[in-house]
A = this chain, B = another copy of it.
Amino acid sequence: MNDRPQTSDLPGPLTGVRVVDLTAMISGPVATMMLADQGADVIKVEPPSGDLVRHMGASRGGMSATFLSSNRSKRSVVLDLKTPLGMEALKRLVRTADVFVQNFRPGAAERMGIGEAVMRAQRDDLIYVSISGFGETGPYAHKRVYDPVIQALSGLAAIQADRDSGRPRMVRTIIPDKVTALTAAQAITAALFARERNGGGQHLKLAMLDATVAFLWPEGMTGHTFVGQEVAAARSQLAQDLIFATADGWITAGAVSDAEWSGMCRALERPEWERDARFRTAQDRVANVADRLALTAAVLATRSSADWLERLDQEGVPCAPVLSRSEVLDHEQIIANDLLAEYAHPDAGRIRQPRPAARFDRTPASIRRGAPGLGADTEALLVELGFDAGQRGQLMGDDSV
């Protein structure tokens, strides 16, 4: 997978779109990174101190891994919006833009002088995007948001609760942040389509709380979908944790249909289970799930993962190894998909990231370049916006404040 270039600047589906991006942390930056991978010219506007994520967690050459994977394919401009000239530069920039995105707490953008009215005055058909944690009004609107807070409020921590103790549990990846990013990216793209077809910008608002509840709903909230028939503690669809220890690791395997169950009985060399009254129909197998899983687990513990996976696969039983993160990198299907790109970043050295997941055969999405250093594109943008050398010096002197 390393024998050809892993970055590309071929036109993508959003080539020609310019996004002025004032977001920081994760939900906004991951959204605009998707647009940037698809060809949009995403200009990340940062204060002189930079997006905090630049300094969060594992890093190399002054670039954190999370920043690299939330801000690639973008450009970075440093503007001090507390100065009149910095604000003037932002306004000129917005006049050239299609989309403006911010994820400050509700009211903050207005106080900073970058609310919708001011920005729309620069460009009438702007798509102005406000991403918030909890919503624009209401008792939580003013609060600082962290991902676990949304997991707690949205019902996600309840869905993940221990089956035995009922203790709620967090999911250990930032689902609300990243689901908000995906939801925002889709909505922005839809607004761009509407504007391309019929003209006109609009104000798009998205709360992490709303995005997360909407995400959970299809199977996570089935117990609360029928009004008047609510279920106190709805079992989630994945109530059974289908992970089994083998002699040398962990696998998942699941038999739902009769054919799959027969396959599992054959793969595990337990033909008598097929005749067992407890497991005859799908309903029987659900009713006697504890027995079934205990028996299955005891047999699977006796041989290696590779052995069982080969047998289960031959018998048509859905199954897979449970991969560690290191093993994901080298898995034969990940390699077949040509999923992981490697490329040289000027500061961080050689880095590994997945290419954009969706493949377009005519307007490819791709990693266009590594995440930008703080203010790497300030001068070029200021020249484009018509600031003379003296003004540029004044604006860029602010960088070192």
Contact pick for A219, options B26, B187, B362, CB 8 Å: B26
- Which residues of chain B are within 8 angstroms of A179 by Cβ–Cβ distance? 179, 182
CB-CB contacts below 8 Å: A188-237 with B: 189-194, 196-197, 200-207, 209-211, 213-234, 236-237
With the chains together, A44 CA to B178 CA distance in Å? Answer: 28
Minimal Cβ-Cβ distance residue in B for A34: B186
With the chains together, A123 CA to B324 CA distance in Å? Answer: 44
CB distance from A20 to the nearest CB of B (A): 18
Is A148 a contact partner of B242 (Cβ separation < 8 A)?
yes
Is B325 a contact partner of A234 (Cβ separation < 8 A)?
yes
Is A332 a contact partner of B233 (Cβ separation < 8 A)?
no
Minimal Cβ-Cβ distance residue in B for A194: B13
Interface residues on A, range: 35 or more
CB distance from A254 to the nearest CB of B (A): 6
With the chains together, A65 CA to B60 CA distance in Å? Answer: 48
Is A168 a contact partner of B243 (Cβ separation < 8 A)?
yes
Is A209 a contact partner of B337 (Cβ separation < 8 A)?
yes
Q: Name which of A77-85, A293-301, A343-351 contacts chain B.
A: A343-351
Of A155, A193, A241, chain B has the most CB atoms within 10 Å of the CB of A193
Contact pick for A66, options B153, B189, B203, B218, CB 8 Å: B218
> A339: CB under 8 A from chain B?
yes
With the chains together, A157 CA to B243 CA distance in Å? Answer: 9
Contact pick for A149, options B225, B236, B319, CB 8 Å: B319
Chain copies in complex:
2
With the chains together, A234 CA to B325 CA distance in Å? Answer: 8
> A373: CB under 8 A from chain B?
no
CB distance from A40 to the nearest CB of B (A): 9
Instruction: Give me the 5 closest cross-chain CB pairs, A-B, nearest first.
Output: A138-B336, A187-B358, A65-B222, A202-B362, A13-B194
> A375: CB under 8 A from chain B?
no
Is B144 a contact partner of A318 (Cβ separation < 8 A)?
yes
> A112: CB under 8 A from chain B?
no
- Which residues of chain B are within 8 angstroms of A158 by Cβ–Cβ distance? 322-325, 328
Is A325 a contact partner of B224 (Cβ separation < 8 A)?
yes
With the chains together, A38 CA to B125 CA distance in Å? Answer: 19
> A389: CB under 8 A from chain B?
no
Given known pairs A196-B196, A243-B157, A337-B210, the reply for A204 and B358 (CB within 8 Å) is: yes
Is B323 a contact partner of A134 (Cβ separation < 8 A)?
no
Is B135 a contact partner of A333 (Cβ separation < 8 A)?
yes
Extra 7 A-B pairs, beta carbons < 8 Å, given A14-B190, A190-B365, A204-B358:
A187-B358, A193-B193, A209-B339, A214-B357, A226-B350, A233-B325, A234-B325
Is A333 a contact partner of B194 (Cβ separation < 8 A)?
no
Given known pairs A193-B14, A224-B352, the reply for A143 and B65 (CB within 8 Å) is: no
Q: Name which of A89-97, A169-177, A264-272, A393-401 contacts chain B.
A: A169-177
With the chains together, A194 CA to B358 CA distance in Å? Answer: 15
Minimal Cβ-Cβ distance residue in B for A231: B58
> A70: CB under 8 A from chain B?
yes
Is B138 a contact partner of A160 (Cβ separation < 8 A)?
no
CB distance from A48 to the nearest CB of B (A): 19
- Which residues of chain B are within 8 angstroms of A155 by Cβ–Cβ distance? 323-325, 328
Is A146 a contact partner of B318 (Cβ separation < 8 A)?
yes
With the chains together, A12 CA to B197 CA distance in Å? Answer: 12
> A331: CB under 8 A from chain B?
yes
